[in-house]
Amino acid sequence: MSPLDYIVIAVYVAGITLVGLAASRRKQTSIAEYFLGNRSVPWLAASASMVATGISAKSLIGLPGLSYTNDLTYLQMYIVLPLAALIAATLFLPFYSRIKITSAYEYLGRRFGHGVQSYASLIFQIETALILGTVIAAPGLVMSEATGMSYNVAVAILLVATLLYTSIGGMRAVIWTDVVQFFVFAAVPVGLLIYTVSTAEGGLSALITTAAEHDKLRVFNFSFDFTEEITFWAALVSMLFWHTGNQSVNQVLIQRYMTTSSQRDSRRTILLSSVGILGLWIIFLCVGILLFSHNTLYPGSIPEGTQPDRVFTAFVMAVMPAGLKGAFIAAAFAAGMSTLSSMLNSMGTVTLVDVWQLHFDDGANELAWLQRARILTLVWGAFSFVSALYVLQFGTVITAGIKLGSVITGALLGMFLLGIFVKRAGAVSAVTGSVLGMGSVVAVMAASEISWSWYCGIGTVVTFASGYVTSLLSTPAVCPEGLSYEVLRDDGFGRPHDRG
């Protein structure tokens, strides 16, 4: 890389850190302000933050590698996202708005008791702690590949820069740095794509023709073979559960849209961000196809045998001019830092709200709890570094994240659905269902060749079904007023109505 590239990277890292610190200047006096920005964040900013959180560096470098190596069938995983967002905005959001949650698992606490709230929060923390490694690994791989720097050192630089503003500024710093990072990692890949097309003889037409000749434009796979990595049916069913879980029971994304001032703005945030995330995912997959075509027409820009997670980086380092290489690395850092900061903030939130305050409240004042929130953010940051050292043993940064997350996401979604739709279900039903749901996914992983794309669907269905059966064999629980649906309709105030 040239000195110009290093200058671009340094300017980005310094600039985004300053933005985060500037957003932290407002003195924070409460946990609600630290974790939710005092519920006063503009919905467009919250939408940009959700996109920035949903599009991590693993998407930026992982998706082009998947389509480069295979074809566009991976797009099937994401086309159901807007439907999942609609489900989240229609089914789950009214409950969250009604009880003004800080943590999503407060709903389970109201519905099933504090023990279930802490249990669900803890398994979410385990899931997110594992996925944290994939988030921080992706930009670390880019920096390592581009500069020759040790992967561990690259990860450490990313983590320290992110923790600096996240721990000090809380959600307000996270949101406004996300807005800046959104424009960085969205604009740079588009710019690189335009450069690639403009430098190819015959332009876009030649690249598309080459891709078609090599059967790279296939989008749908209607096979009923459960062992195939991704099919239309797995996407339509299981990946819908996956995306619905992320939009509806995952604290990282929920915390973004709960920062707005009203349920209407939260709904706008969910729906707009889903369109933005899907659009960027499509762009990233198309980048991989065009990289394949470019390398076919001009062999050598991507060495044969390059691992999928390194394809995009290898191409940029070999082909792009000075300045654009640095911009690409800055984009990878932007995508990584935005997701990492959101996840660390959310982990601190649930650890404090669902465990520490709930079971070990010592009567400390608000400022003391605020300091503890910052400490928890730092602790989770340290854990993410350790996770990044091992996570790539599970596959590419994309598939590793879904494999690890599916074990728990399906169980969490099943518990929420059980609470909403089965009024007689109690704490025993919820916990039993989730344990069997997680166990079923682990058993499928160990004893079959069923694709990872089915894991979340299996976990959700088994959790709900076994929880429902357990509720039939148990004494009916008392469901608090307004925490379940008998009839899906609106009471005139944008809130769920329960006839029971």
480 confidence band (pLDDT: 50, 70, 90)? confident
CB atoms within 10 A of CB 334: 29
Please state the domain count of the chain: 1
Per-residue pLDDT, 486: 60
pLDDT at 490: 45
- 457 in any annotated domain: no
Alpha carbon separation from 20 to 49, 261, 449, 463 (Å, rounded): 13, 22, 45, 40
**Structure tokens that stand for 194 in this block:** 């335009």
Which amino acid belongs to residue 391? V
Question: What's the predicted TM-score (pTM) here?
Answer: 0.84
Question: Which pLDDT belongs to residue 273?
Answer: 93
Spatial neighbors of 439 by CB under 8 A, at least 6 apart, are none
pLDDT for 382: 81
Q: In this structure, what DSSP letter does residue 496 have? A: B
Amino acid, single-letter form, for residue 424: R
Q: Is residue 299 part of a domain?
A: yes
Chain centroid to Cα 146, Å, comes to 25
- In a domain, residue 498? The reply is no
458, 395, 469: which is closest to 430 by C-alpha? 469
Distance CA 32, CA 24 (A): 15
pLDDT at 274 over 90: yes
Q: Is residue 93 part of a domain?
A: yes
Q: What is the mean pLDDT of residues 341-362?
A: 87
Question: Which residue range is the domain that position 64 belongs to?
Answer: 3-394
> Hey, what are 47's tokens?
């939408």
Give the confidence band of 496 by pLDDT, cuts at 50, 70, 90: very low
Question: Which helix (H) or strand (E) covers residue 260, if one does?
Answer: none
Q: Decide if 406 is inside a domain.
A: no
What per-residue confidence (pLDDT) applies to 397? 47
Q: Which residues, listed in sequence order, are joined to residue 110 by a DSSP beta bridge?
A: none
Two tokens, residue 433:
């269902």
Give the domain CATH number at 57: 1.20.1730.10
- Amino acid, res. 398: I
pLDDT digits (tens, 9 = 90+) for 171-215: 778 888 888 888 887 787 788 888 888 888 888 899 999 999 999
As a whole number, mean pLDDT of residues 459-482 equals 92
Residue 453 inside a domain? The answer is no
As a whole number, mean pLDDT of residues 301-315 equals 81
Cβ contacts of residue 409 below 8 Å, gap of 6+? 127, 241, 242, 245, 246, 249, 250, 456, 459
pLDDT in tens, 67-86: 998 889 989 988 999 999 99
Q: Which amino acid is at 50?
A: M
Which phi and psi angles does 103 have, rounded to 5°? -110, 140
pLDDT (0 to 100) of residue 488: 40
In a domain, 459, yes or no: no
> How far is 99 from 112, CA to CA, in rounded Å?
15
Of 109 and 323, which is predicted with more confidence? Answer: 109
What is the per-residue pLDDT across 147-163, written as a single tens digit (0 to 9) for each? 778 878 888 887 888 88
The residue among 74, 276, 77 whose CA lies nearest residue 178 is 276
Residue 297 has pLDDT above 80, yes or no: yes
- Domain assignment present for residue 107? The answer is yes
pLDDT single digits (tens) 407-429: 889 999 999 999 999 999 999 99
pLDDT digits (tens, 9 = 90+) for 112-137: 999 999 999 998 988 787 777 777 77
Whole-number mean pLDDT of the chain? 84
Residues with Cβ within 8 Å of 183's Cβ and at least 6 positions away in sequence, in order, are: none
Residue 484 has a pLDDT of 84
pLDDT score of 497 more than 80:
no
